[in-house]
Structure 1
Amino acid sequence: MPTIDALAERLKTYLDNHHINVVRRAFYYAEQAHEGQYRQSGEPYITHPLAVANLLADLQLDHQCLAAAMLHDVIEDTGIPKDALSSQFGESIAELVDGVSKLTQIEFKSKAEAQAENFQKMTLAMAKDIRVILVKLADRLHNMRTLGPLKPEKRRRIATETLDIYAPIANRLGIHTMCVELEDLGFQAMFPMRAKYIQEAVRKLRGTHYEIIEEIKHKLEGKLKERGLSVRIQGREKHLHSIYQKMKAKRRSFHDIMDVYAFRIITDSVDSCYRTLGVVHGMYKPVPGRFKDYIALPKANGYQSIHTTLFGSHVNIEIQIRTEEMDKVANSGIAAHWVYKSATSDLADNQQMRAQKWVKDLMELRERADDSLEFIEHVKIDLFPDEIYIFTPKGRIMELPGGATPVDFAYAIHTDIGNSTVACRINKHLASLSMPLKSGQTVEIITAPGAKPNPGWLNFVVTGKAKSNIRHYLKQQRQSESRELGRRLLKKNLQAFGKRLDDINEQHKEKVLKHNQASSFDRLLEEIGLGSRMAYIVARQLVSDGEPTESHDMEYREDDNKPSLMVEGADGQVLNLAHCCKPIPGDPIVGVINRGAGLMIHSETCDKIKKFLHDPEHCIHLTWAKNITDEFSVALRVEVERQRGVIAEIASAVTMADGNIEKINVEEQNARLSVVSLIIKVQGRIHLARVMRRLRHLLAVTSISRVKH
């Protein structure tokens, strides 16, 4: 069992006596506070904080972090307030303990909302001081090591939580050693039998592979020494969870995955890494497409190494080449910032900056997300990055997750660039915005001042940043559109009562707002535009002299001389064309208010709205604005005599009349006639008449009609 004296002895390698004494004091304070408390295993509770501190000492973390590890359960389990810790150990340690205590209270229950809410709290704690999550990860790792006495269902719940949340965070922060152990322990708790079989198979295989591994290692050492390179070679073990994941993902057998010999070569400098690569490629032929240079292009979590796979004698050899410092950073990740803080380390600083940027991005996602579920959906994408590296035209490198598109790239550069994207060039050639990018491509984004995000982008973007920004923009746009529509609807209804909006005094507006429980007049207008409130009722409340009510005793004068509401098109989110009757400019139209969805524009002759036609609460008469340039879909039914080339003639006639065919379908009616169903884009009734006239002039056409469902 570890003791405080043994820990203090270990700490002498990198901490001074004053700092070690702070850690000792924290231990004795915690020991006293937890007096009489025991773990499920029956051990005194203090063994847990001491074990957590030992795990953080493995990462060589600072004295404040170690003291917080000793005290991390004091606030929650013993009732000692934060102020008491602050006066004893200082503000920094008290803040760390408080942050970890708040995280300990988080239970990632199976309910998605609870899990999402709690993840938001974790993000806030990380943003304050990222060491909070390091203490929490060590706490979780020791709990995973001591899961034995717990009930099976509780073990599975904690294991699921570990694999879903904590192991990915450890990976994202670059703490490889912790991530691997959390994954393996989580896997063993979730699937004990599968883990047992894989473990047994690995043990058997290790014995048969031992001689081959030693032979390859001896050859590598000899050749590198011959070239004057000072290196350290380690055999690399594959971990249970990663073996299982590869078997599942690649649908390959255990022996296929394990038939690879893995080595790590650790050198003294970056220059030696590349010289070592030259030597190993001279000894064995490299496997095409299996070379990755993470030294020149580090992973998102700061990991650096050269990876290559070689053809050995009937076996594949996987090799990683890195410097001593890269090896420490690969294992310790962000903790390397504190390891190297006594000396200057670009690698560690780089790691710290990456971690801070990630947490900053998390905070931005949190602000933009509508709710916690949307937030965790975005975060989970960013927690499992399979990176690709894309170049800007000026040579800057951007890291993106696999499957990212030019739109993701645009948002990664800047939100405003993403919002105003209209096209892109990939390797100087125009390309689709939805095309998945590949590592090494150069992407140029083309923007336009008035451009705005397309809702369709949500179907193909993969990064959390792109998704949250597109959703945020569309939400803002929807609010703006619904507010404008609400204002127009209210003005029209007030006009029918013989009033204008300017005639209503602020005091009466406030009464109406209070009655409708709306936070502001703009919010009330939004609700009217979305159809959640009736413009007719709000107008009546605004013109009434007394308290606002829902009664129908006001006189409403529908005056035919008053202008109807003007429609300039229907490409927005709260002004929509009905699919049933597909109205186009020139058709007499009415608007039917759909609760929560805005105004649906129907043709006056549409069967679906006959019951609403004379109801001012649900229906409003509309007119088309002049000079509309939008295109509208129209369905046509064309009966033709069956003959060769008739479809080409129809397509040509529509094109000659400046129409655009969206969809065409041919059905055989009998041996002599066929029916052609067309959906075409036109600018209005006059344009449609011109298209239909062209089609009637075709000899094969026997009849033509517009379809209104």
Structure 2
Amino acid sequence: MTTTADDLVTLVRGFNPKTNEELIRDAFSYGARMHEGQFRHSGEPYFTHPVAVAAILAEQQLDDKSIITALLHDTIEDTPASYSEVQELFGHEVAELVDGVTKLTNLQLNSTETKQAENFRKLFMAMSKDLRVILVKLSDRLHNMRTIKAMRPEKQAQKARETMDIFAPLAGRMGMQWMREELEDLAFRVLNPDARSSIMRRFITLQKEAGDVIARITTDMRSELEAAGVQADVFGRAKKPYSIWRKMEEKEQSFSRLSDIYGFRIITQSEEDCYRALGVIHRRWRAVPGRFKDYISQPKTNGYRSIHATVSGRDGKRVEVQIRTQQMHDVAETGVAAHWSYRDGVRTQNPFAVDPTKWIAQLTEQFDGEDDHGAFLEAVKLEMYADKVFCFTPKGEVIKLPRGATPIDFAYAIHTRIGSACVGAKVDGIRVPLWTRIKNGQSVEVITAEAQTPQVTWLDIATTGKAKTAIRRALREEDRGRFIKLGQELARSAFEMVGKKPTDKALATAARTLRLNDVDELLEQLGSAERTSREVLNAVYPELAEIDGDEVDRKRAVVGLQPGQSFDRATCCEPLPGERIVGITFRGKGVTLHAIDCDRLSVYEEQPERWLDLRWHDGSHPAVYGATLDLTVANDRGVLGRICTLIGEAGANIADLNFVDRKPDFFRVLVRAEFRDLAQMHSLMLTLEAESNVAALSRYRDSGRQADAIAAVEQTL
């Protein structure tokens, strides 16, 4: 830790042997004298803070004037020091920088919208004069966040929110990704400590169970690159807790479902080697479609250059790989600040470092003509908050949506009534499909019609929870009659399977037993798959719904288990009696059955001790084993009822229906039914295939369940 002038000078001399040591020592002495008698909330002498800020800038290898400004950045505001005195002692440039930081410190960036817009304008004005002002301010905020525990809880929350909303995005916009990540994580620690602790605990557990994944993959990558003759350094790391939390929120996934929580960087000696390294990685590991970006051929405006690729690594885990040269890496670490960095006593001539004057001019060009504070503020946010989309109504009202939002989300964000009546949209005056992704700054006009109602396909188009909830509610109301009719067909099929009829009295008894209001509610829930026909049947004739005593007891359905050993069918392949099976043992969880051809078995190839040679018990099994059929059928009256009848006549029980795609002439439905064995399912499939209204039929295996299976393995191994 830097505590003395000698420590700081030694740190600076390490990257800049030609540093003006005397001026840095003078600034150190002057700052210490001015802050004498002042203390921080922690009880430490106040001057430890400016020294720490100077050290952060020195770690970024910035010029002497930036480091001296850090030592003096609070003198004009909090001590008897004056602008003229600082100018006389350290020069006009340093005085201007210190004055600029002082003015930034006094800005209330978290105030009301009008005041906030005015202050943002002042912030950008200060940046346009000299970008080093904001570099010092960001380092000042970073050290304050590192030591925030000494503040009062309410002050901590205020500073953390301001950091998350303003300073972290600003650091990211300037290309200082490392600072953005640390600021976000420090703010996250304050704003949601329980979530952060939970993620850290999961990391520790994952490392204990799976070992050091980073070291293994890093070693593999180095070996592959060496074998291909590519000279490069490889570094791996786990992503920051806040980065993981944000992905969990955006993708609505649990920690175990996230795949790319590790990142790797390959630093090559030339641009040509970057692409050679990419070829090596893609030959060794499988590339993930849609997860590749080439910022070398198309750099970001802040100078960032790198190749980003996501690949499937060891044990099926996805990892992100960034490939760049050392010069690209320097810019990636410090962003626009690379313009002032020194090495061996001279300003670094990095060909990828952006000229800050041109960058600021480009960034603020669109703001110059904005007299309205609100418009200016939104223009700033468009630039700073890349994970949000700010779009406009025809009247100029700003609507904030998540990235990837569509006109459907926009319409529901205005009002549920507008969303439900939406029939089309214009973006920047041009008619576009409803699935169009809205971009920052676009103007969106919603076209409505009184007779319009929400369509089921909108659920796939919408991205916001508000829109999806409203669409589902409207669809449920609209489809109530259709669900009731479908429920009648399902009830008839289930009752006839046991030789009974679904009379009004029988259904009323079922509704009363299941504590529903009336028969219509029962049929609606049955038709919408909220309840299964087995539940309804069991509510009226529990003795008939029970398994026949002559059938194989489900508890002893599998041969080869140890006494008392339980089993479950794997959700990825859902094996049925009659299929060849193997068992995989899990500590404390019994045995999971997989079909012999299940793709997921490859996960356990190197763990033969966990495999069990099992088989289904001979004899007749009860029809309680679920499997899903994927049908594409004609969208004609009575077709679905006919399908349900055929399934009932085959002795299978329909447990769930899920419509996944609707077209004017055909629709696709997933039918989950309960079978006795594989032969019964195959017999039913032959019967259904013979139907002229069935266009396609296959056994369906849910990829989402496969992902759950992978997650379960990773958590158990």
TM-score where L is the length of structure 1: 0.54
Structure 2 unaligned spans of 5+? 390-401, 407-426, 447-717
Name the counterpart of 1:198: 199
Could you say if the C-alpha distance between residues 54 and 282 of structure 1 is closer, same or farther in structure 2, counting changes exceeding 3 Å?
same
Name the counterpart of 1:174: 175
Quick one: distance in 2 between partners of 1:80 and 1:435? 62
Could you say if the C-alpha distance between residues 358 and 385 of structure 1 is closer, same or farther in structure 2, counting changes exceeding 3 Å?
farther
Deviation at 1:215, TM superposition (A): 2.9
Deviation at 1:166, TM superposition (A): 0.6
Quick one: distance in 1 between partners of 2:154 and 2:143? 19
For residues 457-536 of structure 1, the aligned pairs below 5 Å read 457=443, 459=445
Q: Deviations along 1:646-684, whole A, 9 cap, x unmatched? A: xxxxxxxxxxxxxxxxxxxxxxxxxxxxxxxxxxxxxxx
Name the counterpart of 1:2: 2
Q: Check whether the contact 1:172–1:300 (CA below 8 A) recurs between aligned residues.
A: no
Name the counterpart of 2:240: 239
2:352 to 338, 347, 354: 347
The answer as to 2:249 corresponding to 1:248 is yes
State the identity as a percent.
43
SS at match of 2:40: coil
Could you say if the C-alpha distance between residues 260 and 199 of structure 1 is closer, same or farther in structure 2, counting changes exceeding 3 Å?
closer
Q: Deviations along 1:490-539, whole A, 9 cap, x unmatched? A: xxxxxxxxxxxxxxxxxxxxxxxxxxxxxxxxxxxxxxxxxxxxxxxxxx
Name the counterpart of 1:29: 30
Q: Check whether the contact 2:174–2:336 (CA below 8 A) recurs between aligned residues.
A: yes
For residues 205-216 of structure 1, the aligned pairs below 5 Å read 205-216=206-217
Deviation at 1:197, TM superposition (A): 1.6
The residue type equivalent to 1:287 in the other structure is V
Name the counterpart of 1:324: 326
Q: Deviations along 1:413-460, whole A, 9 cap, x unmatched? A: xxxxxxxxxxxxx9xxxx937679999xxxxxxxxxxxxxxx994659
Name the counterpart of 1:161: 162
Quick one: distance in 2 between partners of 1:6 and 1:379? 39
Could you say if the C-alpha distance between residues 154 and 212 of structure 1 is closer, same or farther in structure 2, counting changes exceeding 3 Å?
closer
Could you say if the C-alpha distance between residues 291 and 8 of structure 1 is closer, same or farther in structure 2, counting changes exceeding 3 Å?
same
Deviates more, 1:362-371 or 1:237-246: 362-371
Name the counterpart of 1:299: 300
Could you say if the C-alpha distance between residues 194 and 404 of structure 1 is closer, same or farther in structure 2, counting changes exceeding 3 Å?
closer
Deviation at 1:403, TM superposition (A): 6.9
Quick one: distance in 1 between partners of 2:42 and 2:335? 32
Could you say if the C-alpha distance between residues 33 and 292 of structure 1 is closer, same or farther in structure 2, counting changes exceeding 3 Å?
same
Quick one: distance in 1 between partners of 2:436 and 2:13? 49
Name the counterpart of 1:223: 224
SS at match of 1:289: strand
Q: Deviations along 1:543-594, whole A, 9 cap, x unmatched? A: xxxxxxxxxxxxxxxxxxxxxxxxxxxxxxxxxxxxxxxxxxxxxxxxxxxx
Could you say if the C-alpha distance between residues 301 and 342 of structure 1 is closer, same or farther in structure 2, counting changes exceeding 3 Å?
closer
Quick one: distance in 2 between partners of 1:19 and 1:29? 16
Name the counterpart of 2:338: 336
Quick one: distance in 1 between partners of 2:433 and 2:340? 41
Could you say if the C-alpha distance between residues 87 and 256 of structure 1 is closer, same or farther in structure 2, counting changes exceeding 3 Å?
same
Could you say if the C-alpha distance between residues 165 and 357 of structure 1 is closer, same or farther in structure 2, counting changes exceeding 3 Å?
farther
Deviation at 1:157, TM superposition (A): 0.7
Q: Deviations along 1:139-188, whole A, 9 cap, x unmatched? A: 00011111112111111111111111111110011011111111101111
SS at match of 1:235: strand
Name the counterpart of 2:189: 188
SS at match of 1:307: strand
SS at match of 2:149: coil
SS at match of 1:160: helix
Quick one: distance in 2 between partners of 1:103 and 1:320? 35
**Aligned residues between the structures:** 407
Q: Check whether the contact 1:108–1:161 (CA below 8 A) recurs between aligned residues.
A: yes
Deviation at 1:58, TM superposition (A): 0.8
Deviation at 1:223, TM superposition (A): 1.8
Name the counterpart of 2:65: 64
Deviation at 1:357, TM superposition (A): 4.3
Deviation at 1:345, TM superposition (A): 2.0
Quick one: distance in 2 between partners of 1:247 and 1:168? 19
Deviation at 1:274, TM superposition (A): 0.3
Name the counterpart of 2:422: none
The answer as to 2:19 corresponding to 1:14 is no
Q: Check whether the contact 2:53–2:70 (CA below 8 A) recurs between aligned residues.
A: yes
Quick one: distance in 2 between partners of 1:387 and 1:298? 21
Deviation at 1:311, TM superposition (A): 2.5
Quick one: distance in 2 between partners of 1:438 and 1:303? 28
Quick one: distance in 2 between partners of 1:222 and 1:364? 48
Quick one: distance in 2 between partners of 1:168 and 1:150? 23
Q: Check whether the contact 2:145–2:186 (CA below 8 A) recurs between aligned residues.
A: yes
Q: Check whether the contact 2:127–2:134 (CA below 8 A) recurs between aligned residues.
A: yes
The residue type equivalent to 2:329 in the other structure is D
SS at match of 2:62: coil
Q: Check whether the contact 2:207–2:213 (CA below 8 A) recurs between aligned residues.
A: no
Quick one: distance in 2 between partners of 1:195 and 1:16? 42
Could you say if the C-alpha distance between residues 259 and 89 of structure 1 is closer, same or farther in structure 2, counting changes exceeding 3 Å?
closer
For residues 349-364 of structure 1, the aligned pairs below 5 Å read 351-352=354-355, 355-364=356-365
Q: Check whether the contact 2:13–2:19 (CA below 8 A) recurs between aligned residues.
A: no
Quick one: distance in 2 between partners of 1:9 and 1:200? 38
Q: Check whether the contact 1:147–1:155 (CA below 8 A) recurs between aligned residues.
A: yes
Q: Check whether the contact 1:213–1:235 (CA below 8 A) recurs between aligned residues.
A: yes
Could you say if the C-alpha distance between residues 284 and 16 of structure 1 is closer, same or farther in structure 2, counting changes exceeding 3 Å?
closer
Quick one: distance in 1 between partners of 2:347 and 2:111? 43
Q: Check whether the contact 2:339–2:348 (CA below 8 A) recurs between aligned residues.
A: no
Name the counterpart of 1:432: 430
Q: Deviations along 1:442-490, whole A, 9 cap, x unmatched? A: xxxxxxxxxxxxx994659xxxxxxxxxxxxxxxxxxxxxxxxxxxxxx
Structure 1 unaligned spans of 5+? 389-400, 406-425, 440-454, 461-709
Q: Check whether the contact 1:172–1:301 (CA below 8 A) recurs between aligned residues.
A: yes
Deviation at 1:101, TM superposition (A): 0.5
For residues 385-424 of structure 1, the aligned pairs below 5 Å read 385=386
Deviation at 1:322, TM superposition (A): 1.1
Deviation at 1:10, TM superposition (A): 1.2
Which structure has the greater CA radius of gyration?
Answer: 1
Deviation at 1:316, TM superposition (A): 1.9
Name the counterpart of 2:689: none
SS at match of 1:346: coil
Q: Check whether the contact 1:82–1:98 (CA below 8 A) recurs between aligned residues.
A: yes
Quick one: distance in 1 between partners of 2:352 and 2:141? 27
Deviation at 1:212, TM superposition (A): 3.7
Quick one: distance in 2 between partners of 1:305 and 1:437? 31
Q: Check whether the contact 1:167–1:182 (CA below 8 A) recurs between aligned residues.
A: yes
Quick one: distance in 1 between partners of 2:444 and 2:387? 20
Name the counterpart of 2:89: 88
Q: Check whether the contact 1:300–1:387 (CA below 8 A) recurs between aligned residues.
A: no
Quick one: distance in 2 between partners of 1:238 and 1:250? 16
Deviation at 1:323, TM superposition (A): 1.0
Quick one: distance in 2 between partners of 1:403 and 1:302? 25
Name the counterpart of 1:272: 273
Could you say if the C-alpha distance between residues 243 and 16 of structure 1 is closer, same or farther in structure 2, counting changes exceeding 3 Å?
same
Q: Deviations along 1:40-76, whole A, 9 cap, x unmatched? A: 1111111000000000001101000000000000000
Could you say if the C-alpha distance between residues 18 and 275 of structure 1 is closer, same or farther in structure 2, counting changes exceeding 3 Å?
closer
SS at match of 2:311: strand
